[in-house]
C-alpha cells in the first residue's frame, strides 16, 4: 500500500523503513526539504539526506507525504501533532486511516528528569482527552487508530527481537481501519494486538509513557515489552 509518514524523526524513519521493507510504497514527510535542511544533523535520528540515500525512500513535505499515502502515520510529538497535520492539509488527509504513534510528552523545561525517571504529559492532552482523540476531533472524516506507542519504536517494528511474546494495543472508532492496522502490525511480528475499543482507549496507552520512562531508567534499557496475562 502507499503509506505517507508525517514526521521524520527516529520514529518516522524507523517505521518508514520497516513498512518499505514489507513492500509498501513509503514517502517520509518533513517540514523543510531544502538541500541544506536535509543534510542537517537530527537529534536521535540520522540526517534525512543520508537516510534517503541509504533506504531509497523519498523524503518530501508533510503535504506531499499525506497526498501520497492511502494510509498515513502520525510520527510527531503529541504537543505539536495538530500543527504538523495542519501542514499536511485537511484535503490531503480526507477520510484516510491515520496510524497515530504520538505520546503527549511534556517537553517544557523541568518536566522531564531522567535522573529520577520522571516524565510528565502535556496537561491539555491528558486525563479527559488524548492526542488520538484530538486528532480524531480535528479530522472527523479521518479514521484514527492509536498504535505502536507503548514500546520503543525499534521494538515496535520488530517485537520478536526481544525473544518473547509481547503484546501491543490499538484503539479507534472504525473497525475496518483497526483490522487494517492489525494486519500491518502482525506483519511486523506482533502476535497479540489488543483492541481497546474506541479512540478514548488512547488515553490509557498514551499515559503508559510515564511508567514506560520509569521502567526504562529502572531497567537500564529502552527495549522491553508488555505481556498481559489474564
Ligand atoms: N522514540 C520512540 O521509540 C517512540 C516510541 C513510540 C512512540 N513515540 C512517539 O512518536 C512520536 C515521534 O517521535 P520522534 O522522536 O520521532 O519525533 P520528533 O523527532 O520529536 O519529531 C518528528 C517530527 O516532528 C516535526 N515537528 C517538530 N516540531 C514541529 C512543529 N512545531 N510543527 C510541525 N512539525 C513539527 C519535525 O519536523 P521536521 O522534520 O521538519 O524537523 C519532525 O518531522 C512522539 O510523539 C513520540 O512520543 C516514540
pTM exceeds cut of 0.85: yes
Q: Is the CB of 83 under 6 A from ligand 1?
A: yes
pLDDT at position 145 is 99
Q: Is the CB of 9 under 6 A from ligand 1?
A: yes
Q: Does residue 57 have a pLDDT over 90? A: yes
Percentage of the chain lying above the pLDDT 90 cut: 99
Q: Does residue 209 have a pLDDT over 90? A: yes
Span 204-220, mean pLDDT? 98
pLDDT at position 36 is 97
Beta strands of 18-94 (E only): which ranges? 25-30, 59-61, 71-74
Q: Does residue 32 have a pLDDT over 90? A: no
Residue with CA nearest ligand 1 atom 24 = 76
Q: Does residue 58 have a pLDDT over 90? A: yes
Backbone dihedral angles phi then psi of residue 97, each to the nearest 5 degrees: -75, 130
Q: Is the CB of 105 under 6 A from ligand 1?
A: yes
**What HEC string does 191-221 produce?**
CEEEECCCHHHHHHHHHHHHHHHHHHHHHCC
Q: Is the CB of 74 under 6 A from ligand 1?
A: no
pLDDT at position 89 is 98
Span 49-62, mean pLDDT? 98
Q: What is the pLDDT of residues 115-163, one digit of tens each?
A: 999 999 999 999 999 999 999 999 999 999 999 999 999 999 999 999 9
pLDDT at position 61 is 98
Q: Is the CB of 11 under 6 A from ligand 1?
A: yes
Residue 141 C-alpha cell reads as 472524516
Residue 14 Cα: closest atom of ligand 1: 16
What is the distance between the alpha carbons of residues 84 and 77, in angstroms, rounded to a whole number?
Answer: 9
Q: Is the CB of 38 under 6 A from ligand 1?
A: no
Percentage of the chain lying above the pLDDT 70 cut: 100
pLDDT at position 179 is 98
Q: Is the CB of 28 under 6 A from ligand 1?
A: no
Q: What's the chain's average pLDDT?
A: 97
Residue 154 Cα: closest atom of ligand 1: 3
Residue 43 Cα: closest atom of ligand 1: 19
Q: What is the pLDDT of residues 12-24, one digit of tens each?
A: 999 999 999 999 9
Residue 12 Cα: closest atom of ligand 1: 16
Please say whether the beta carbons of 194 and 228 come within 8 A: yes
Amino acid at each position: 500500500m502507499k503509506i505517507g509518514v508525517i514526521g521524520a524523526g527516529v520514529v518516522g524513519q524507523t517505521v518508514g523503513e520497516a513498512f518499505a521493507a514489507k513492500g509498501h510504497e513509503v514517502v517520509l514527510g518533513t517540514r523543510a526539504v531544502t538541500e541544506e535542511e536535509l543534510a542537517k544533523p537530527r537529534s536521535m535520528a540520522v540526517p534525512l539526506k543520508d537516510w534517503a540515500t541509504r533506504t531509497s525512500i523519498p523524503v518530501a513535505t508533510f503535504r506531499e507525504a499525506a497526498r501520497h499515502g492511502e494510509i498515513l502515520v502520525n510520527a510527531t510529538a503529541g504537543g505539536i501533532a495538530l500543527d504538523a497535520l495542519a501542514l499536511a492539509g485537511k484535503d490531503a488527509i480526507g477520510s484516510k486511516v491515520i496510524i497515530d504513534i504520538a505520546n503527549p510528552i511534556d517537553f517544557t523545561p523541568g518536566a522531564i528528569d531522567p535522573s529520577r525517571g520522571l516524565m510528565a504529559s502535556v496537561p491539555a492532552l491528558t486525563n479527559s482527552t488524548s492526542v488520538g482523540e484530538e486528532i480524531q476531533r480535528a479530522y472527523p472524516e479521518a479514521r484514527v487508530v492509536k498504535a505502536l506507542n507503548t514500546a520503543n519504536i525499534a521494538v515496535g517494528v520488530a517485537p520478536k527481537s526481544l525473544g518473547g511474546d509481547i503484546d501491543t494495543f490499538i484503539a479507534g472508532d472504525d473497525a475496518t481501519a483497526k483490522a487494517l492496522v492489525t494486519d500491518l502490525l502482525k506483519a511486523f511480528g506482533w502476535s497479540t494486538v489488543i483492541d481497546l475499543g474506541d479512540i478514548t482507549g488512547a488515553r490509557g496507552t498514551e499515559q503508559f509513557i510515564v511508567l514506560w520512562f520509569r521502567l526504562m531508567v529502572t531497567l537500564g534499557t529502552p527495549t522491553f515489552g508488555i505481556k498481559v496475562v489474564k
